[in-house]
Copies of this chain bind each other. A is one copy, B any other.
């Protein structure tokens, strides 16, 4: 009779992931020692190896699971709105910001610890990033096709939008002045109507 993992083990495995995110976010992957990680979980360093194959695999799993969730939830968010480019773009912006604010640590690690991945792991994650970017590019392209958007270069524009939205992670504090909804609304306006210019006939 086979047993995959007992309930205690599942809890520990989850705790390792949570602690890993926290420590990698705080100190960087290279600077996180497995002894620190184990201590955060409350076990010995060697016991980690009942749950992870190597330190490198832990990093890869954390990032891959994050990208899987991001891709799936993005599809869900886009499927839930009317099939017009503007509505889909609004949904994308809303989803991107909300997801990124809720998973600050995951996002940071997935963006800035890629260099710590071994080549084949790196390639896998970069492909998933490309897939995510393509979803936004597709929204922009469809908007151009239906005449709703005027975009010179949808790829670069998509990169810029993503950079702007992801930037929220660097300053957002839950106890801050703005609610998540206000931040979403503010950035939707920045994307749709520009950051600074008067433009009365286009403002919603």
Contact = CB atoms under 8 A, between A and B. Distances in A.
Interface residues of A, number: 48
A160 interface: yes
Contact of A195 (B31, B192, B197, B201): B192
B159 A167 contact: yes
Q: Is the interface of A mostly helix, strand, loop or mixed?
A: helix
B163 A28 contact: no
Contacts of A159: 167-168, 170-171
Contacts of A193: 194, 197, 199
A195 B170 CA distance: 21
Contact of A199 (B31, B140, B190, B202): B202
A152 interface: yes
A186 B154 CA distance: 11
A31 B116 contact: yes
Interface in A154-171: 156-157, 159-164, 166-168, 170-171
Interface string A172-184: 0000001000010
Given A143-B196, A148-B196, A163-B163, 6 more contacts: A28-B30, A148-B198, A153-B186, A163-B166, A194-B195, A194-B199
25 contacts: A29-B31, A31-B31, A149-B197, A150-B196, A150-B199, A153-B186, A157-B195, A159-B170, A159-B171, A160-B164, A160-B168, A160-B195, A163-B166, A163-B170, A164-B164, A164-B167, A166-B167, A191-B195, A192-B195, A192-B196, A192-B197, A193-B199, A194-B197, A197-B199, A199-B202
